[in-house]
Amino acid sequence: MNLRYVSTAVFLLMGCSDTPEVIFASTGVPGETSGVKSDEGTWGTSEGTAWTDARLRERLSQFNVTSVDPGNVLPMADPQVILGQMLFFEKALSGNGDISCATCHHPSLGTSDGLALPIGVGGNGLGPQRELGDERGFIPRNSPDIWNRGSELWQTMFWDGRVHGKPGYFGSPAGLKLPEGLETVLSVQAMFPVTSAEEMRGHHGENEIADMETLPEVWAALTERILSYEGYPSLFRSAYPDVEPEDYGFQHIANAIAAFEVAAFTKLDSPFDRYVAGDDHALNAQEKRGAELFFGKASCGNCHNGPLLTDQGNHVLAAPQLGPGKGDDAPYDMGRFLETGDDMDRYAFRTPPLRNVELTAPYTHSGAYRTLSDVIRHHLDPSGMIESYVAEDHVQGGAADTLLSDEVFLHECTSRVSPLVAPEEPISEQEIEDLVAFLLSLTDPSAYDMSDLVPGALISGLEVDRARPARDEPVEHM
- Its domain, for residue 226, covers 79-267
Q: Is the pLDDT of residue 473 over 90?
A: no
Separation of alpha carbons 152 and 276, rounded Å = 19
Q: 469 or 27: which carries more pLDDT confidence?
A: 469
Q: Is 313 among the domain residues?
A: no
pLDDT value, residue 475: 56
pLDDT value, residue 149: 98
What would the pLDDT profile of 102-152 be if each residue is shown by its tens digit? 999 999 999 999 999 999 999 999 999 999 999 999 999 999 999 999 999
Which amino acid appears at position 325 of this protein? G
Q: Say if CB 370 and CB 362 are below 8 A apart.
A: yes
Q: Is 437 among the domain residues?
A: no
Give the chain's mean pLDDT: 89
Report strand pairing: 163-166 vs 156-157: antiparallel
Q: Please give the share of the chain, as a percent, with pLDDT higher than 90.
A: 84
* For helices 250-265 and 232-239, angle between their N-to-C axes, nearest 10 degrees: 70
What would the pLDDT profile of 207-240 be if each residue is shown by its tens digit? 999 999 999 999 999 999 999 999 999 999 999 9
Q: Mean pLDDT over residues 461-472, rounded?
A: 72
**pTM of the predicted model, to two decimals?**
0.88
pLDDT value, residue 396: 83
What would the pLDDT profile of 47-103 be if each residue is shown by its tens digit? 557 778 999 999 999 999 999 999 999 999 999 999 999 999 999 999 999 999 999
What would the pLDDT profile of 224-281 be if each residue is shown by its tens digit? 999 999 999 999 999 999 999 999 999 999 999 999 999 999 999 999 999 999 999 9
Q: Is 458 among the domain residues?
A: no
Q: Is 347 among the domain residues?
A: no
pLDDT value, residue 157: 98
Q: Is 349 among the domain residues?
A: no
The residue among 281, 276, 285, 296 whose CA lies nearest residue 43 is: 285
Q: Is 219 among the domain residues?
A: yes
pLDDT value, residue 31: 35
Number of structural domains in the chain: 1
pLDDT value, residue 212: 97
pLDDT value, residue 12: 33
Separation of alpha carbons 394 and 362, rounded Å = 9
Q: Is the pLDDT of residue 40 over 80?
A: no
Q: Is 48 among the domain residues?
A: no
CATH of the domain at 196: 1.10.760.10
Task: Give the residue numbers annotated as catalytic, written as ranges.
Answer: 199
